[in-house]
Amino acid sequence: DIQMTQSPSSLSASVGDRVTITCQASQDISSHLNWYQQRPGKAPNLLIYTASNMNAGVPSTFSGSGSGTKFTLTISSLQAEDAATYYCQQFHELPPTFGPGTKLEVK
């Protein structure tokens, strides 16, 4: 199975800050990478698909980039409602695997 890692595992930032989360795959996955946001007690929500495509309704402050083995999720201007855990997921091959998550706290 393809292993996914994320860094940092948690972070705390202030409203208006720029935040970057990194996801790394154990092998080349091309651009077959998705990002999800999960607020406490809720189901995950798709943010970015195929590395850089924004899902409908997602604020333009979110963006994704990368290919191969290294990917980033960037929030350009942090809002209070962005407090959540963020997961990357590879869909290069079965089984699709998720990263361990990055918990984002908004100060």
Partner 1 sequence: QVQLVQSGAEVKKPGSSVRVSCKASGGSLRDYTITWVRQAPGQGLEWVGRITPRLGIENHALKWKDRLKLRADKSTRTVYLDLSSLTSDDSAVYYCARENRETYHIGWLDPWGQGTQVTVSS
Binding footprint of partner 1 on the chain (CB under 8 A): 32, 34, 36, 38, 43-46, 49-50, 55, 87, 89, 91-101
Q: Which is nearer to partner 1, 17 or 101 (CB)?
A: 101
Distance CA 31, CA 47 (A): 15
Distance CA 59, CA 78 (A): 11
- Least distance CB 13 / partner 1 (angstroms): 21
- Least distance CB 15 / partner 1 (angstroms): 26
Contact 3, 98 (CB under 8 A): no
